[in-house]
Amino acid sequence: MFRSQSFLDRVRKTTTLYLIILNIGFYFLQNITQFLYSTDILLVYGAKINAFILSGQLWRLITPIFLHGSLVHIGFNMYALYSIGPSLERRYGKQPFLLLYFFGGLFGNIFSFIFSANISLGSSTAIFGLIAAQAVYIYKNRLLLGSAANGLLRNVLVMIAINLMLGLSPGIDNWGHMGGLVGGFLFAWFAGPSYGISENVFGENIIVRENKREALVIGGLLILAAALTFLGFLVR
């Protein structure tokens, strides 16, 4: 008999759960400081604000992924993380999944720094990185997924297109979303899981996971992120 998964069934013992708790915790602190001091102190010291990044506060290229501007904002983002995070985490593993989340957020905020003068915050940069990784996973393992692959990939691409179109609305940082897609795509393409078919000693076909040079990919992406940040300083 089939049964639907509860929230706890879906996220139990996952890094995704801790990310959701962390985001909710920071949002709670934002509201506490707003209530006590009439100022969102975490936003002031953690949001992507170009002038402060130019003054050397480079942590603002990553801290915005833990901050949100409203209950609706965090609600949509946490639902998206809950929807895509657990299944992707099972395919990647906990540490690579965290790295994927980090690079999506990092590249998203770097793109926003380069191309947008607006203040920006939110985990959607990292979540767009996860969505890009989902598309890469389906494409690279399409032979194993068989006839379902085309439909799955089409659904992800349509979801990306719809969300980018919605991102054209005022107040939404679409540059951050596009940067998140780039960061997630690059990490997933070069360090994400992909599988092949090989033969064992008995001549039977078996599925094998291809080895990835994760450390080399991380180093390359950090160098690229540094170069793009430097470009941001030049154009700003």
Catalytic amino acids?
A: 124, 177
CA nearest 31: which of 70, 79, 78, 59? Answer: 70
Q: How far apart are the first and last CA of the chain?
A: 59
CA nearest 189: which of 213, 206, 225, 222? Answer: 213
The Cα–Cα gap between 236 and 99 comes to 28
